[in-house]
Amino acid sequence: MQLLLNSAIWVALIALIPVFASKVYEKHSTNKAILAEIYRLLRVVAAHRDFWQRCVEDGSTDRRPFIPFAYRIYSNQIQNIGVIRPGIVAKVVEFYGDIDFINAYQALKDPAVESGHLDEFNTAYIRFLSSILKQFEPAFKEEFKRLGIGPR
């Protein structure tokens, strides 16, 4: 009887291995996907900042439309926030909050044009974009490297 009970326990434990392995894989994949999206967004923010600076210099910002920064992976994984590595979860949330702020700030361009405050808008906009890069590129550098995201 004892042998049968021990065998049943071992069979149950062995049956759980794929479940645990699947959870570990899911956690790793979610972290990597979110960090890959952050890496992409940082590249897009940098390119956009440089583009916007050139538009300021040539005086064309009043005619330039905005496309909000998109982030589908984080939006679809927010319910799984608990699987993000504890050491970076606060920075991840803060990063996406700043991206949301930039997206909302873009809506203020047309009122700034109409009120004659486009120069102030542009100065602040470029400062916000630069701030995101300055704060978050170093904050995620080691995570990008650890997960093999970006140039090797």
Q: Model confidence over 36-60: pLDDT tens digits?
A: 999 999 999 999 999 999 999 999 9
User: Can you give the pTM of this predicted structure?
Assistant: 0.83
Measured CA to CA in angstroms, residue 51 lies from 19, 41, 47 at distances of: 48, 15, 6
**What average pLDDT score do residues 7-33 get?**
64
3-12, 42-51, 90-99: range with lowest mean pLDDT? 3-12
d(CA 122, CA 107): 12
Whether residue 15 is predicted with pLDDT greater than 90 in this model: the reply is no
Tell me, what's the pLDDT at 104? 98
